[in-house]
Amino acid sequence: MSELLGIPLKRTLEVDFATELSKLIDATSFQTASFFQPDISKVATARNNAITPDISVGGLDALKKYYAILLQLEKKFPNNQIEFTWFQTLSQKSHGCGQYSLQWEKLTIIYNIGCMYSLLALDSNSDSAESLKKSCLYFQNGAGCFKYVLDHQATLKTEAVVDDSTAKALTSLMLAQAQECFWFKAVQDKHKDSLIAKLSQQIVNFYAESISDSQKGKLIRNDWTNHLKAKKAYFSAVTYYRMALSFNGKKQFGSMVKALQTALQFLNESTLSSNAKFKTVIESALKEAQRDNDFIYLQQVPSELPTIQPASMVKPSSIVGLLPSVDDSEQLFKDLIPIEVMDYCTAYNERQDKYVEQRITNPLTSLSKLLKESMTTYQIPQELKTISETELKQYQASLNNLQVNNENIQSELDNITHILNEEALSDNQLRLKHGTLHWTLPESSTINAKYYEKLNKLKEYIDQGSAIDKQTNELFQTIDKTLITSGIKLPESNDPLTNKIKQVIQERSEHIEKTKRRSSEYRILSKIISSYKKSGTTDFEPIFIEHLKYFDEDLRYVNNTKQENMKLIHEIERKENNKTNESGETKKMERTDPRELYIEDLKYSLGLLDEVKDNLNAGTTFYENLINSTNTFCNEVREFDATRRIEKTKLDESLIFEGK
């Protein structure tokens, strides 16, 4: 056997693993890096041995040892802290890629293990049965590694180790060469030609898959693809040659001729250096078969031959058992607390906070809220909010602005009135001057009527606006401005029940703050670390359940508070019932509680302010519309007056000329 391909190992840049791991430990662990210096050195050495391995079983072991260490590092450290740079070696132009990912590094090492298996298979390649068996196994192991990379790199958040099409092509190539080893052993053992044909047909199929994927991929060179095509053509020739021999045994001489012709056609497509000897064999066999069939057997040569069912004897090796597990190497960083444990601590702290919130602080808050809502004199209703002095001044300014708008519109309407009156006076004087028979323009009293009507309407509107502005201003002056601009501060109640409830709510609020503070100080971290160091497992749930018993006293306090709430609300209801007489009517009682007086006064002043704000909003819109209407009307009147002036001048000059 010859002309098999080995996959070149990827190359990498050296990483100062010792420094990078030291930084990482110092940043993410309770311990310092100096405590783990021996383990750090072992990791750095393992990588240095793995990046330039000899093509040997020892080199394979170096790769696997580093892979096992990476499994440990994945459990101990974050994935994205150290940068690894690797260079592709399949394509004619090598290009590098750097990624911050332990997973990417691990899959790249698996890829290189696959490459190493392919190279070891070439080294083991000889005609002996034992070496064929070993080569076949190595090629299947290589296929298993490439397939594993293909199946798992989709989960990477970084660039792929190798594009999917190339990974598929390499997997098929390894299987083709493994099948080739099996086929060669079958030839040596002189198995039936029909079986050997099925074995070689499977080789053809594997090479066909590899060719298809290599043409889609980004890395496999054209000379490799051409080599795969040559191998496919060669083994197609082998398949039909073995079919021909099988047909000869069955005395199907016409089919034998067709099979040999087809074999020769495929062989002519192959460019392998080993073709010459095989071609001589086929040509000799074809010549003899054609002569015998033409002169002796006289069988018809078919146009097509039956399809050959391939026989696959190889498959990608399972990664389980092929690669070491995390337990197959010396355990490193035994005393290091991994990030996973810290994540557990964070998660349990969040669960503890939620537990305290849901079981203690929220129930106490809800009970206090329920108590407050039952007491009308306890606190200011939420809808009551004071305003700033600046906001109050803005309302005063808005009132002043309404007055300015009103005055401006009044002035504009007076101007319009003056224009219309002047136009009527002018028309009357000219009519007296020339006489009604000669002064033929329409009288102002007729043509001006629509303008006076619109003018009067606008004056009505402005008078209405003035009246509303006056009411709004008077309403604004009645507001207790000091009350609504001062911070809300309820006076002390003189009601014993109210004061008692205030004290209870204050105690609950203090208990809530105290519980939050105690919870923030009482964390599970030390218990988890202690448990992890003893067992090495991450089943911390029983520890957490026991940890929460610390808050049992708080839970009892919440339960007692519920009972207290029911009693206080019952007292409130009884007090409210005492305010009504036997017929259900409310008893006439003077308001003596300062809180009730304060709230009522604040409600009243804020209610007046709401009315003022509504009037201001409506007034602003009113004057905007009225200003637009007045401006439009003013333009109409000016245009009318200008037109009438021109008409009067023309008629006046005409009558004077005729009089002369």
Q: What are phi and psi of 48, to 5 degrees?
A: -60, -35
Cα–Cα distance, 355 to 555 (Å, whole number): 11
Provide mean pLDDT across the span 84-99: 89
Provide mean pLDDT across the span 537-549: 90
Instruction: Please report whether residue 490 resides in a domain.
Output: yes
Segment 63-66 long-range contacts (CB within 8 Å, at least 24 positions apart)? 63/109, 63/112, 63/113, 63/116, 64/113, 64/323, 64/324, 65/324, 65/329, 66/109
Instruction: Please report whether residue 2 resides in a domain.
Output: no
Cα–Cα distance, 107 to 113 (Å, whole number): 10
Cα–Cα distance, 82 to 100 (Å, whole number): 5
pLDDT at position 660:
47
Cα–Cα distance, 143 to 171 (Å, whole number): 4
Q: Which of 300, 328, 356 is the last residue of a domain?
A: 328
If you ran DSSP here, which 8-state letter would residue 34 be given? G
Residue 324 sits in the same domain as residue 448: no
The pair of structure tokens assigned to 337 is 């607390």
Give the CATH number for residue 557: 1.20.140.50
User: Could you give the C-alpha distances from 175 to 127, 206, 335, 480, in angstroms and in order?
Assistant: 19, 7, 44, 94
What size, in residues, is the chain? 660
Cα–Cα distance, 22 to 35 (Å, whole number): 10
Residue labelled with tokens 């998660």: 347
Write out pLDDT tens, residues 130-143. 999 999 999 999 99
Cα–Cα distance, 251 to 243 (Å, whole number): 12
* DSSP code per residue over 300-342: PPPSS-PPPPP-----PPPSBTTB--GGGS----TT---HHHH
pLDDT at position 588:
46
Residue 324 sits in the same domain as residue 356: no
Instruction: Please report whether residue 15 resides in a domain.
Output: yes
pLDDT at position 589:
43
Residue 324 sits in the same domain as residue 342: no
Four-residue CA torsion sign, 180, 5, 114, 155:
negative
Structural domain of 653: 337-581+590-660
Four-residue CA torsion sign, 32, 34, 39, 44:
positive
3-class DSSP string for 154-177: HHCCCCCCCCHHHHHHHHHHHHHH
Residue 204 sits in the same domain as residue 276: yes
pLDDT at position 491:
59
Instruction: Please report whether residue 624 resides in a domain.
Output: yes
Residue labelled with tokens 């045994």: 249
Residue 122 sits in the same domain as residue 196: yes
- Sheet with 11-12, strands from edge to edge, namely 11-12, 83-87, 96-100
Residue 509 sits in the same domain as residue 532: yes
pLDDT at position 222:
92
Percent of the chain scored above 90 by pLDDT?
63
The predicted model scores a pTM of 0.60
Residue 64 sits in the same domain as residue 188: yes
Provide mean pLDDT across the span 218-226: 93
Instruction: Please report whether residue 597 resides in a domain.
Output: yes
pLDDT at position 94:
79
Among 297, 187, 193, residue whose Cα is nearest residue 241: 193
User: Could you give the C-alpha distances from 358 to 10, 305, 350, in angstroms and in order?
Assistant: 55, 79, 12
Q: Which of 305, 328, 351 is the last residue of a domain?
A: 328
Residue 272 sits in the same domain as residue 373: no
pLDDT at position 609:
85
pLDDT at position 32:
85
Write out pLDDT tens, residues 510-528. 999 999 999 999 999 889 8
Write out pLDDT tens, residues 562-581. 998 888 888 877 876 776 55
Q: Which of 299, 328, 357 is the last residue of a domain?
A: 328
Instruction: Please report whether residue 3 resides in a domain.
Output: no
Cα–Cα distance, 140 to 120 (Å, whole number): 12
Write out pLDDT tens, residues 229-275. 999 999 999 999 999 999 999 999 999 999 999 999 999 999 998 89
Provide mean pLDDT across the span 374-387: 66
- Is a pLDDT exceeding 70 seen at residue 383? no
Amino acid in position 570:
H
Instruction: Please report whether residue 5 resides in a domain.
Output: no
Close Cβ partners of 31 (under 8 Å, ≥ 6 residues apart): 25, 335, 336, 337
Close Cβ partners of 605 (under 8 Å, ≥ 6 residues apart): 479, 480, 483, 484
Averaged confidence pLDDT in the chain: 89
**b/e per residue, 152-171, with b = 16+ CB within 10 A?**
ebeeeebebbbbbbbbbbbb
The pair of structure tokens assigned to 108 is 């790249």
pLDDT at position 590:
47
- Is a pLDDT exceeding 70 seen at residue 2? no
Q: Which carries the bigger pLDDT value, residue 178 or residue 368?
A: 178
Provide mean pLDDT across the span 176-197: 95
Write out pLDDT tens, residues 284-302. 999 999 999 999 989 999 9
CA angle 436, 439, 442 (to 5 degrees): 95
Write out pLDDT tens, residues 310-352. 999 999 999 988 999 877 778 888 878 877 787 888 899 999 9
Residue 277 sits in the same domain as residue 380: no
Instruction: Please report whether residue 420 resides in a domain.
Output: yes
User: Could you give the C-alpha distances from 275 to 2, 222, 290, 507, in angstroms and in order?
Assistant: 12, 21, 22, 98
Residue 304 sits in the same domain as residue 348: no
Cα–Cα distance, 20 to 9 (Å, whole number): 25
Provide mean pLDDT across the span 102-114: 96
Amino acid in position 507:
E
**b/e per residue, 621-644, with b = 16+ CB within 10 A?**
ebbeebeeebeebbeebeebbeeb
Among 546, 563, 579, residue whose Cα is nearest residue 377: 579
Four-residue CA torsion sign, 398, 400, 405, 409:
positive
* DSSP code per residue over 464-500: HHHHHHHHHHHHHHTS-HHHHHSPP-PPPP--HHHHH
Residue 569 sits in the same domain as residue 651: yes
pLDDT at position 179:
97
Residue 280 sits in the same domain as residue 318: yes
Counted domains in the chain: 2
Amino acid in position 299:
Q
